[in-house]
Structure 1
Amino acid sequence: MTTTFKTVNRHGYAVKFSPNRSDILAIATTQYYGFKGGGTLFLVTYDADKCLMTKNTEIFWEDGLFDVVWSRTAESLLVTGSGDGSLQMWNYKYPQKPVRTYDEHKKEVCSVDWCQNSIDDFLLSASWDCSVKLWDPNKYCSLTTYKGHDRLVYEVKWSPFLSSCFASVSGDGTLGIWDCSSPLRPRAKINAHQAEVLSCSWNRFQPFVLATGGSEGLIRIWDIRKSLTPIFQLEGCQDAVKRVQCSPHHWSKLASVSYDFTTKIWDYSASSEPCQSHQNHSDYVYGLDISPRQDGLMADCGWDAEARVFRAG
C-alpha cells in the first residue's frame, strides 16, 4: 500500500505525522530545490485504508521551508525552519500569517525540534551559520546560543530521556552531545564520520544510544559512553544518507532516506544490510517519518515533488 500526494512545483524537504491526530501529515517544501524562491507547508489529510491523501491547508512563506515539527501539547501548532534564517510558528487553523516568528540565525535554518517531555516547552534550531539556538516558544529572543561546530549544523535532536540533553550533527564530521546549561562547548564531541554528518536520531529504548547518517552513505550506531568507535555500522546506501530515524516501536529498528532515491528499513540486531528497500521516488529523498502509532505506516518526501505514505512490510 502506497499513497501519493503531489507537491506540485514544490520540492519536499521534511514530512511529519501529527502526534495528536492520526490522520494529518505536515510536508515542508521549497521552490526551485531550495536554492531560491518561496516555501509551502502542506497539511494533508490521509486515509490509509482508502489509500487517499487530500490537501487540508496550504501555508506560504517567502523563503524555502527546510524542516517542520509539531507541538505535542497544542494540536494545531507547528514550527518551521526557513532559508531566510527564521523560524515560524503556525496555527494551521488560521494559516494567513504565523503566530510568531523568531529571527536570529544568520543563514538557513535546516532543523527544528520541540522538546519531547510534558514538563518543559522549548525549541531547538540548527543553522548553516554553525550554531544551535534554544528558544522559549512564547518569547521572541533565543535563550541561549550553542557554538561548538566548525561548519554548518545539519540536524539537532532532543534526548527522549534527559530533558536538558540534545545532540547535533555537522558538516565538520562530528556528533555533539550537549547539556543545555553549558553553551560554550558540547559535553562530548564524537568524530562520527569521515564525511559530513547529515542526520541523527536517538534510540527511544536505550538512553545512551543514537544513530547518525553520513554523506559517504554509512549509518552508524553510537553508545555515547563509548565514543571512540560505533557499536554498529550499516552499509547499503549508495549515496548520502539524508535522514535516519530510530523506530518508536522496536529497540533495534530504524529507517533511512538517501540521495540514492531509496527509503530503507534496518534491524541492526539482525544484519548490517537493510531488511527492506523502497524506491518510492525518482529523485533525492529528503523527508522521513515513522508513525508514532502502532499502525506500520511511514512517510517520505523528495525532490520529485511527491510525498508518500506507505505501510512497511
Structure 2
Amino acid sequence: MPTFLTPGRHGYSVRFSRTRPDSLAVATSQYYGLAGGGTLFFLELSPEGTTIVELQKLEWSDGLFDVTWSGTADGVAACGAGDGAVIVWRGGCAAPLRVLRAHHSEVCSVDWPRAHLLSASWDTTVKLWDPESEVCLSTFSGHSQLVYTATFSPHSPATFASVSGDGHLKLWTCTESSRPAAVIKAHDAEVLSCDWSRLETHALATAGSDGLVRGWDLRRLTSPMFTLKGCECAVRRVQFSPHAPSVLAAVSYDFTTRIWDLKRGCDPLETIRHHSEFTYGLDWNALRPHQIADCGWDSLVHVFTPRSLV
C-alpha cells in the first residue's frame, strides 16, 4: 500500500485527478487547522503503483480544509482556506492563478465539476462562483449553522446539496438562491458530509457527528432508505463508489475507513485501521476500479484497494 507523509501538516482532504488516474491533490494544515498555515501537495503514484511521489507543494498563510480538481481545466485545483479564501492553483506554477474572496469565515468545502465552483463556509453560506471572472454569482443562506459540505449533482448541473451543523440536508437550484428546493432533517446531530451517487440518479448519502451514514431517495424524502451504524465516532466524509452503485465508503474520527455493500447488508464489509489520528479525507479513484485514497491528522496519505472488493 503506497503511503505519503506530510511532515508537520495534518491532512484534511485528498482528491484523485478527474483525468489522470495516478495524480492526487492533498489539502493540509498546520497545528490541526487551529493556527498556522496550509500546504497543498500535488502527488503522483509511481508507474509500479508502489510509492507516492511529491510533484509540488504550495504554501498558503492559513489552513487548507478542502481541495477539488477543476472539471474543465487539466491540472488546476481549488482549495478552501481558513481565512475565507478560495485559492485556485495550477500544477507547476508557484503563485495562485486566482484568489476568490467573499466568505467571512473558514471555507471547508469546494466543488468544481464544471464551469462554476461551489464553496461552503462556517459563515453559514454557500457561494456559487465564476472562477474565470472571479465573480461570486450567488449566495445561498438557508442554513442556521456552519455549512460543512456543498456538492453539485452529477446528473443535474443546476442542482446541488448542502449539509450543516443544523442537522439539515438541503437541495438547491442554482437559479434560485432565496430558498432551497427541499429541506430534510437528516440527522439529530451535525451533518458533516453528503455525496451523490454517480450511478443512480435518485440516491444521495449523508454522514453525521452521530456516527451514522444515511441514504436518501430523492423520489421520497420522508425517511431514509438506509441507515448504517458502524463508526464509533463522528463520520467526517462519506462517498459512493463510482464503480458499483451499492458500495460506499466513509472515514471517521475513530481513525477508521469503512466499506459497505448495501446488497450484502448494513454491516461494514471491511474496517480499515491504518491511521493513528482522525481520518479526515476520502476519495474514490473514478478512473481505476475500487482504488481509494484517504488522509488523516497523523500526516499520512494512503492509496489502496479494499480487500473486500478485490
* TM-score band, normalised by shorter chain: over 0.9
Query: Which one of 80, 84, 107 corresponds to residue 105 of structure 2?
Result: 107
Say whether 1:248 aligns with 2:247.
no
Give matches, 1:1-313, under 5 Å: 2-47=1-46, 49-94=48-93, 96-116=94-114, 121-313=115-307
Question: Hey, what's the Cα distance between the residues in 1 that align with 2:48 and 2:97?
Answer: 34
Q: Deviation at 1:48?
A: 6.8
Matched positions, count: 307
1:158-199 deviations in whole A, cap 9, x for unaligned?
Answer: 001011000000000000000111101110000000000000
Distance 1:48 1:238 in 2: 37
Give the AA of the match of 2:91: Y
Unaligned runs of 5+ in 1: none
Q: Which runs of 5+ in 2 are unaligned?
A: none
- RMSD over aligned Cα atoms: 1.0
State the AA in 1 paired with 2:272: H
Tell whether the 8 Å contact from 1:136 to 1:143 is kept in structure 2 after alignment: yes
Secondary structure of the structure 2 residue equivalent to 1:33:
helix
Tell me the TM-score normalised to structure 1 length: 0.96
SS in 2 for 1:269: helix
Residues 81-138 of structure 1, C-alpha deviations (whole Å, 9 max, x = no match): 00000001101111x210010010000000000135xxxx100000000000000111
Q: Report the AA paired with residue 175 of structure 1.
A: L
Q: Is the 8 A contact 2:69 2:113 kept in 1?
A: no
In 1, distance between residues paired with 2:68 and 2:100? 15
* Inter-partner Cα distance in structure 1 for 2:220 and 2:23: 39
Q: Report the Cα distance in structure 2 between the residues aligned to 1:30 and 1:69, rounded to whole angstroms.
A: 16
The separation in 2 between residues aligned to 1:162 and 1:275, in whole angstroms, is 31
Describe the shift of the 1:217–1:23 C-alpha distance in structure 2 as closer, same or farther (beyond 3 A).
same
* Amino acid in the other structure paired with 1:311: T
**Which deviates more, 5-14 or 285-294?**
285-294
What secondary structure sits across from 2:32 in the alignment? helix
Task: Give the Å deviation of 1:25.
Answer: 0.9
